[in-house]
Amino acid sequence: MKNIFKSIRILVLISIPFVLFSFFNPTLKNAYAIGDQVENFELPNIDGKYVSLSDYTNQKGVIVIFTCNTCPYAVAYEDRIIALHKKYAEKGYPVLAINPNDPEVQPGDSFAEMKNRAKEKGFTFPYLLDEKQQVYPKFGASRTPHVFLLHNENSNFVLRYIGAIDDNYKNAAQVKIRFLENAIQALNEGKEIELKETKAIGCTIKTK
C-alpha cells in the first residue's frame, strides 16, 4: 500500500510542472488547429504602415512565417524565405513575415533593427512586429521560424499547414523534403496535403 501511495505522489509531482506550463503558456491553449478559420489581425510593417490579413483576400492564400533577426535558425532560412516569396507571390501565395519577439528581452529584434535587417537582406515582403505579442499565441507559434500556411476559402483564411519550411535548416542544398512547397502544390492541385503538421526547428519566442 505504501508503494502505491508513493507512486501516486510521484505521478502528481511529475504532472504539476506540465499542468502549470500548459496553463501559463498561451501557445498551448486555444491555438489554431488545422482546418480552423484564422481571425483577421493588423500589425505595423517596417514601412510605417499597418498590414492586416484582410488585405490579402484577393490572394489564393498567405504564407505566414514567424521569424526574427537574431535566431541563427531564422537567419539560416532568410534566403529561402526570400526565394519562397519570389516564387509563390506571383502564384497567389505571398509571404507575410511576423517578428514575435519582445524587443525589451531581445534588443536585436527592435523595430529599428527589423528595418535595418530588411534593408540589408532586401526583403520584398511585409515584415511585421507583433508588438503586443497577441498574434503569435493565437497561432500557437513557439519557434522562429514557424510556418503557417493559410488557404483562402470564400474570403476566409483557413489553416492548412503548420511547421517547418523543409527538412534541413543547415544546408538548403541538402534539402530532401520541402514541406511547405509540397503543401502549396497540393492545395493548387486540389489534393489532400499529406503532411499537414511538422516540427518547427528554431529558437524559442522571447517574451517576459
- Condensed to tens digits (0 to 9), the pLDDT of residues 120-160 reads 999 999 999 999 999 999 999 999 999 999 999 999 999 99
Residue 26 is predicted with a pLDDT of 43
**In degrees to the nearest 10, what's the CA dihedral of 161, 152, 26, 18?**
-30
79 and 152 both lie in a single domain: yes
From the list 142, 123, 131, the residue with the least C-alpha distance to 103 is: 131
What pLDDT score does 174 carry?
A: 98
Same-domain pairing of 147 and 193? yes
CATH number at residue 48: 3.40.30.10
Helical spans, DSSP H, in 105-192: 111-121, 136-139, 179-188
- pLDDT score for 16: 37
Q: Does 11 lie in the same domain as 56?
A: no
Are residues 5 and 94 part of one domain? no
Q: Which domain holds residue 131?
A: 31-204
Position 205, amino acid: I
Tell me: do 111 and 21 sit in the same domain: no
* Number of structural domains found in the chain: 2
CB neighbourhood size of 147 (10 A): 26
| 1 and 74 share one domain | no
What pTM did the predictor assign? 0.86
In this structure, are 60 and 73 located in the same domain? yes
Are residues 3 and 66 both part of a single domain? no
Does residue 196 register a pLDDT over 90?
A: yes
Shared-domain flag, residues 20 and 90 = no
Answer yes or no: do 194 and 98 share one domain: yes
Which of the residue ranges 11-15, 74-78, 88-92, 105-109 would you say has the lowest mean pLDDT?
Answer: 11-15
Q: What is the mean pLDDT of the chain?
A: 90
Residue 30 is predicted with a pLDDT of 87
Considering the domain architecture, whether residues 22 and 56 belong to the same structural domain is answered as no
Same domain for 164 and 70, yes or no, is yes
For residue range 9-64, what is the model confidence (pLDDT) as tens digits? 543 343 333 333 333 344 456 899 999 999 999 999 999 999 999 999 999 999 99
The mean pLDDT value for 174-179 works out to 98
pLDDT for res 29: 67
